[in-house]
Chains A and B, each alone.
Chain A
Amino acid sequence: MKKQLIVRLKSGLELTFVPNEVSLDNTFIPVAPLLNENDFPLLLHFTHAALVTTLNLSKMPDCVLLHLIEDYSPKSAAFCLNRSEGDFTVQSQCKRVLFIPFPIPFKPSEIVSIRLSKKSKP
């Protein structure tokens, strides 16, 4: 059974993402190498006890980060649109971050809720 995240928008539409989940206990995470082994959408789960995780987004393809708290409720969003060769990091105070490839067909501000679905898919 694969984990599904259901993103509900203000319009009432629900979008289903079946993420590739990676659990990590580091507080500094180069994300681009993880995408060599895992497709979008990518769900990172931080298992360390620190308050903040630093995500190195250098050389990442364009994507949107949704920062989720323990029950998967969305806390904030960030756009990763690399336009230079310089290093690029962001910090997250959340224990989970969902990476969705850009472009996304909805505004992050339209998200009402995100929930975990237990429904099994063929």
Chain B
Amino acid sequence: MTQLPPPSEVKLGLVIDLDTCVGCHACVTACKGWNTENYGAPLADTDPYGAEPSGTFLNRIHSYEVQPEDGVAQLVHFPKSCLHCEDAPCVTVCPTGASYKRAEDGIVLVNETACIGCGLCAWACPYGAREKDPVEGVIKKCTLCVDRVYNENLPEEDRVPACVRTCPAGARHFGDLGDPDSAVSRLVAERGGIDLMPEQGTKPVNQYLPPRPKDEPLDVLAPLLEPVAETPDGFLGWLDKALSRLPGGPS
């Protein structure tokens, strides 16, 4: 069913905090580890120990530099996986119906048994969230860990995506962005979360929290350093006065 379902009440997705991500790649290997063992075919690697190792990953960490007109450059670590778009072009272009968006929670998945590996969905995705598996010949993509988030074999607290569970900095948040009162929705509101490539009209569910302003001038605080002394002797003079104000003196 390649046509998109009517927008779902529940919109499960990720909120990624660019102010906190330290670029450690933990979410990358945790994702690879979970998803090579679970949903669909393993995530293959070709030439894994050779000259051109190349494998399927559902989540990758880019990094960008922002160079202001004047002032020092900033570096931003930038995780990217499927954004589970509401108007997902990757779904509508699929000739087989293998690519679909779940009606109940909006998760975008690939039914690997129906996929012919034409790659058109990967072409249609502006975000590079789909990769054709070199061994299986089908398209692999972030499943939002659909086999974790409802999994009754996992303890309640573990029913979150593998990448979210492992993120040491807590830069990844999972929840229902369809519910304005959910923790993630509130976080997005507070921090002014944004869509990536809004002009592409994909209406991503995943939101990105922009980095907070950095390197603001400190010298405004300098008055706090009103000198009490310029010389050691001056200092000792001040010290005696200061000490007399402390408890524990002669009584």
A and B co-occur in one complex: no
